[in-house]
A = this chain, B = another copy of it.
Amino acid sequence: MPTQASASVLDLNQLRRTCKACALYELCLPAGIDGAGLDQLDAVVRDRHSLNRGDILYRDGQPFTALYVVRAGALKTYVQDAAGDVQILGFHLPGEIVGFDALATDFHISHAEALERSSICELPFAKLQQVTHDVPALQRQLLRVISREVVGEHEHLATMGKQQAQERLAGFLHSMADRYARLNRDSTSLTLPMSRAYIANYLGLVVETVSRGFTRLEDMGVLAVNRKQVRILRPDVLASLCSPNGADAPRPRVQSGSGR
Protein backbone atom coordinates (compact mmCIF):
# COMPACT_ATOMS: atom_id res chain seq x y z
CA MET A 1 0.00 0.00 0.00
CA PRO A 2 1.77 3.19 -1.19
CA THR A 3 1.68 6.08 1.20
CA GLN A 4 0.79 9.09 -0.90
CA ALA A 5 0.41 9.38 -4.67
CA SER A 6 0.92 12.80 -6.20
CA ALA A 7 -2.15 13.97 -8.06
CA SER A 8 -0.21 14.98 -11.12
CA VAL A 9 0.66 11.58 -12.55
CA LEU A 10 -1.68 9.09 -14.10
CA ASP A 11 -4.20 11.51 -15.51
CA LEU A 12 -5.98 8.72 -17.24
CA ASN A 13 -6.63 6.88 -14.01
CA GLN A 14 -7.68 10.06 -12.37
CA LEU A 15 -10.12 10.83 -15.11
CA ARG A 16 -11.60 7.42 -14.93
CA ARG A 17 -12.35 7.73 -11.27
CA THR A 18 -13.56 11.29 -11.37
CA CYS A 19 -16.47 11.71 -9.00
CA LYS A 20 -18.45 13.57 -11.64
CA ALA A 21 -18.43 10.58 -13.92
CA CYS A 22 -19.09 8.07 -11.18
CA ALA A 23 -22.35 6.19 -11.18
CA LEU A 24 -22.43 6.50 -7.41
CA TYR A 25 -22.42 10.27 -7.55
CA GLU A 26 -25.77 10.60 -5.87
CA LEU A 27 -25.11 8.06 -3.15
CA CYS A 28 -21.62 8.88 -2.12
CA LEU A 29 -19.85 11.80 -0.51
CA PRO A 30 -20.13 14.21 -3.48
CA ALA A 31 -23.94 14.22 -3.31
CA GLY A 32 -24.99 17.82 -3.02
CA ILE A 33 -21.58 19.24 -3.86
CA ASP A 34 -21.47 21.58 -6.85
CA GLY A 35 -18.94 22.08 -9.66
CA ALA A 36 -16.02 23.87 -8.04
CA GLY A 37 -16.18 21.93 -4.80
CA LEU A 38 -16.47 18.71 -6.72
CA ASP A 39 -13.22 19.35 -8.54
CA GLN A 40 -11.52 19.86 -5.22
CA LEU A 41 -13.00 16.65 -3.91
CA ASP A 42 -11.85 14.84 -7.01
CA ALA A 43 -8.31 15.86 -6.23
CA VAL A 44 -8.61 14.19 -2.85
CA VAL A 45 -9.61 10.78 -4.07
CA ARG A 46 -6.66 8.48 -4.37
CA ASP A 47 -6.15 5.67 -6.85
CA ARG A 48 -8.67 3.12 -6.05
CA HIS A 49 -7.79 -0.16 -4.48
CA SER A 50 -8.84 -3.41 -5.85
CA LEU A 51 -9.58 -6.09 -3.29
CA ASN A 52 -10.08 -9.79 -3.72
CA ARG A 53 -12.40 -11.92 -1.66
CA GLY A 54 -11.02 -12.13 1.85
CA ASP A 55 -8.65 -9.18 1.49
CA ILE A 56 -8.53 -6.86 4.45
CA LEU A 57 -9.06 -3.15 3.84
CA TYR A 58 -8.15 -2.17 7.38
CA ARG A 59 -7.90 -3.97 10.66
CA ASP A 60 -8.34 -3.32 14.34
CA GLY A 61 -5.42 -1.35 15.75
CA GLN A 62 -4.30 0.12 12.46
CA PRO A 63 -3.75 3.90 12.49
CA PHE A 64 -6.36 6.02 10.82
CA THR A 65 -5.35 7.46 7.47
CA ALA A 66 -8.39 7.46 5.25
CA LEU A 67 -12.05 6.81 4.71
CA TYR A 68 -13.04 4.36 2.01
CA VAL A 69 -15.91 4.37 -0.45
CA VAL A 70 -17.12 1.07 -1.81
CA ARG A 71 -17.18 1.57 -5.57
CA ALA A 72 -18.01 -1.98 -6.58
CA GLY A 73 -18.33 -5.29 -4.78
CA ALA A 74 -19.15 -5.63 -1.09
CA LEU A 75 -17.42 -5.42 2.28
CA LYS A 76 -18.13 -6.64 5.74
CA THR A 77 -17.01 -4.84 8.87
CA TYR A 78 -16.68 -6.63 12.19
CA VAL A 79 -15.26 -6.42 15.67
CA GLN A 80 -13.46 -9.19 17.50
CA ASP A 81 -13.22 -9.25 21.27
CA ALA A 82 -10.48 -10.54 23.53
CA ALA A 83 -12.02 -14.01 23.63
CA GLY A 84 -11.99 -14.15 19.84
CA ASP A 85 -15.71 -13.70 19.39
CA VAL A 86 -16.59 -12.01 16.14
CA GLN A 87 -19.57 -9.73 15.62
CA ILE A 88 -20.29 -8.53 12.13
CA LEU A 89 -21.34 -4.89 12.20
CA GLY A 90 -22.46 -4.41 8.67
CA PHE A 91 -22.32 -5.33 5.03
CA HIS A 92 -21.36 -2.48 2.79
CA LEU A 93 -22.54 -2.06 -0.77
CA PRO A 94 -21.40 0.37 -3.47
CA GLY A 95 -21.77 4.02 -2.55
CA GLU A 96 -21.31 3.36 1.14
CA ILE A 97 -18.39 4.70 3.15
CA VAL A 98 -16.47 2.82 5.81
CA GLY A 99 -13.77 3.77 8.28
CA PHE A 100 -15.68 6.12 10.55
CA ASP A 101 -14.87 3.98 13.56
CA ALA A 102 -11.34 5.42 13.55
CA LEU A 103 -12.36 9.07 13.74
CA ALA A 104 -12.72 8.86 17.49
CA THR A 105 -9.29 7.58 18.51
CA ASP A 106 -7.31 7.86 15.27
CA PHE A 107 -7.04 4.09 15.25
CA HIS A 108 -9.38 1.61 13.70
CA ILE A 109 -11.17 -0.55 16.20
CA SER A 110 -12.91 -2.80 13.70
CA HIS A 111 -11.96 -4.80 10.65
CA ALA A 112 -13.09 -4.37 7.06
CA GLU A 113 -12.86 -7.27 4.67
CA ALA A 114 -13.95 -7.80 1.08
CA LEU A 115 -16.72 -10.35 0.58
CA GLU A 116 -16.01 -10.51 -3.14
CA ARG A 117 -13.82 -8.76 -5.67
CA SER A 118 -14.27 -5.11 -4.81
CA SER A 119 -13.14 -1.72 -5.91
CA ILE A 120 -12.53 1.00 -3.34
CA CYS A 121 -12.03 4.76 -3.50
CA GLU A 122 -9.63 5.93 -0.84
CA LEU A 123 -10.16 9.35 0.74
CA PRO A 124 -7.01 10.31 2.66
CA PHE A 125 -8.41 12.09 5.66
CA ALA A 126 -5.76 14.77 5.92
CA LYS A 127 -6.48 15.93 2.40
CA LEU A 128 -10.19 15.61 2.91
CA GLN A 129 -10.01 17.85 5.94
CA GLN A 130 -8.21 20.55 3.98
CA VAL A 131 -10.93 20.56 1.38
CA THR A 132 -13.75 20.63 3.89
CA HIS A 133 -12.32 23.93 5.02
CA ASP A 134 -12.84 25.46 1.57
CA VAL A 135 -16.08 23.68 0.85
CA PRO A 136 -18.51 23.97 3.76
CA ALA A 137 -21.05 21.89 1.88
CA LEU A 138 -18.61 19.01 1.94
CA GLN A 139 -18.26 19.28 5.67
CA ARG A 140 -22.01 19.11 6.03
CA GLN A 141 -22.15 16.23 3.61
CA LEU A 142 -19.52 14.33 5.57
CA LEU A 143 -21.65 14.64 8.68
CA ARG A 144 -24.66 13.55 6.67
CA VAL A 145 -22.89 10.42 5.50
CA ILE A 146 -21.61 9.44 8.92
CA SER A 147 -25.08 10.04 10.28
CA ARG A 148 -26.38 7.57 7.72
CA GLU A 149 -23.95 5.13 9.25
CA VAL A 150 -25.48 5.79 12.65
CA VAL A 151 -28.97 5.33 11.27
CA GLY A 152 -27.97 2.09 9.59
CA GLU A 153 -26.74 0.76 12.88
CA HIS A 154 -30.01 1.72 14.49
CA GLU A 155 -31.75 -0.48 11.97
CA HIS A 156 -29.33 -3.28 12.67
CA LEU A 157 -30.01 -2.96 16.38
CA ALA A 158 -33.75 -2.93 15.83
CA THR A 159 -33.42 -6.12 13.79
CA MET A 160 -31.28 -7.82 16.44
CA GLY A 161 -33.85 -6.84 19.02
CA LYS A 162 -36.52 -8.99 17.42
CA GLN A 163 -36.96 -12.19 19.40
CA GLN A 164 -38.00 -14.47 16.57
CA ALA A 165 -35.31 -15.65 14.19
CA GLN A 166 -37.78 -15.41 11.32
CA GLU A 167 -38.37 -11.74 12.01
CA ARG A 168 -34.68 -11.02 12.06
CA LEU A 169 -34.11 -12.78 8.78
CA ALA A 170 -37.07 -11.05 7.20
CA GLY A 171 -35.80 -7.72 8.45
CA PHE A 172 -32.37 -8.41 7.02
CA LEU A 173 -33.72 -9.35 3.59
CA HIS A 174 -36.07 -6.40 3.63
CA SER A 175 -33.28 -3.96 4.28
CA MET A 176 -31.06 -5.61 1.71
CA ALA A 177 -33.81 -5.21 -0.86
CA ASP A 178 -34.12 -1.55 0.08
CA ARG A 179 -30.44 -1.01 -0.46
CA TYR A 180 -30.53 -2.79 -3.79
CA ALA A 181 -33.32 -0.47 -4.83
CA ARG A 182 -31.21 2.56 -3.97
CA LEU A 183 -28.54 1.21 -6.28
CA ASN A 184 -31.15 1.05 -9.02
CA ARG A 185 -30.90 -2.68 -9.03
CA ASP A 186 -33.86 -4.99 -9.07
CA SER A 187 -34.92 -5.08 -5.46
CA THR A 188 -36.81 -8.35 -5.87
CA SER A 189 -33.88 -10.33 -7.15
CA LEU A 190 -30.95 -10.25 -4.77
CA THR A 191 -27.52 -11.78 -5.15
CA LEU A 192 -26.33 -11.93 -1.61
CA PRO A 193 -22.59 -11.38 -1.39
CA MET A 194 -22.27 -12.94 2.06
CA SER A 195 -22.41 -16.51 3.31
CA ARG A 196 -25.12 -17.94 5.53
CA ALA A 197 -22.65 -17.99 8.39
CA TYR A 198 -22.08 -14.26 8.02
CA ILE A 199 -25.78 -13.58 7.90
CA ALA A 200 -26.18 -15.67 11.03
CA ASN A 201 -23.47 -13.82 12.87
CA TYR A 202 -24.86 -10.48 11.73
CA LEU A 203 -28.27 -11.42 13.13
CA GLY A 204 -27.04 -13.05 16.32
CA LEU A 205 -28.11 -16.54 15.25
CA VAL A 206 -26.41 -19.77 14.20
CA VAL A 207 -26.05 -20.93 10.61
CA GLU A 208 -28.57 -23.70 10.91
CA THR A 209 -31.28 -21.35 12.08
CA VAL A 210 -30.67 -19.04 9.15
CA SER A 211 -30.70 -21.94 6.74
CA ARG A 212 -33.98 -23.19 8.17
CA GLY A 213 -35.34 -19.68 7.96
CA PHE A 214 -34.63 -19.51 4.24
CA THR A 215 -36.22 -22.88 3.72
CA ARG A 216 -39.32 -21.88 5.60
CA LEU A 217 -39.67 -18.61 3.73
CA GLU A 218 -39.38 -20.59 0.54
CA ASP A 219 -42.01 -23.07 1.71
CA MET A 220 -44.28 -20.15 2.51
CA GLY A 221 -43.93 -18.93 -1.05
CA VAL A 222 -42.30 -15.69 0.03
CA LEU A 223 -38.92 -16.40 -1.50
CA ALA A 224 -37.35 -18.42 -4.25
CA VAL A 225 -33.92 -19.33 -2.97
CA ASN A 226 -31.06 -20.79 -4.88
CA ARG A 227 -27.96 -20.53 -2.81
CA LYS A 228 -27.02 -16.85 -2.90
CA GLN A 229 -29.67 -15.97 -5.45
CA VAL A 230 -32.81 -14.85 -3.66
CA ARG A 231 -35.94 -13.77 -5.44
CA ILE A 232 -38.55 -12.05 -3.34
CA LEU A 233 -41.88 -13.31 -4.61
CA ARG A 234 -44.05 -11.62 -1.99
CA PRO A 235 -42.45 -8.38 -0.81
CA ASP A 236 -45.63 -7.52 1.06
CA VAL A 237 -45.54 -10.71 3.10
CA LEU A 238 -41.84 -10.31 3.73
CA ALA A 239 -42.46 -6.83 5.09
CA SER A 240 -45.21 -8.09 7.36
CA LEU A 241 -42.93 -10.80 8.72
CA CYS A 242 -40.55 -8.19 10.07
CA SER A 243 -42.84 -7.73 13.05
CA PRO A 244 -44.08 -10.40 15.43
CA ASN A 245 -47.78 -10.14 14.76
CA GLY A 246 -47.45 -9.44 11.08
CA ALA A 247 -47.80 -5.71 11.60
CA ASP A 248 -51.58 -5.77 11.81
CA ALA A 249 -52.44 -4.05 15.06
CA PRO A 250 -50.20 -1.01 15.56
CA ARG A 251 -50.61 -0.99 19.31
CA PRO A 252 -47.71 0.30 21.36
CA ARG A 253 -45.21 -2.27 22.59
CA VAL A 254 -43.24 -0.48 25.19
CA GLN A 255 -42.00 -3.39 27.23
CA SER A 256 -39.38 -5.36 25.41
CA GLY A 257 -40.28 -6.28 21.91
CA SER A 258 -43.07 -8.52 23.14
CA GLY A 259 -42.21 -12.08 22.84
CA ARG A 260 -39.98 -14.72 21.36
Which residues in A have some Cβ–Cβ distance to B below 8 Å? 79-87, 89, 100-104, 109-110, 129, 132-133, 136, 139-140, 142-151, 153-154, 156-158, 160-163, 197, 200-201, 204-207, 242-245, 247, 249-260
Taking a contact as CB atoms under 8 Å apart, the answer to whether A153 and B157 are in contact is: yes
CB distance from A205 to the nearest CB of B (A): 7
A142 to B, closest residue via Cβ: B143
Q: Which of B82, B136, B143 contacts A146 (CB 8 A)?
A: B143
12 A-B contact pairs sorted by A residue (CB < 8 Å): A84-B253, A85-B244, A86-B254, A86-B257, A100-B147, A100-B150, A103-B143, A103-B144, A104-B147, A104-B148, A129-B140, A197-B256
CB distance from A80 to the nearest CB of B (A): 8
Taking a contact as CB atoms under 8 Å apart, the answer to whether B147 and A243 are in contact is: no
CA distance A104 to B109 in the complex (A): 23
Taking a contact as CB atoms under 8 Å apart, the answer to whether B253 and A85 are in contact is: yes
A243 to B, closest residue via Cβ: B83
Q: Which residues of B contact A258 (CB under 8 A)?
A: 85
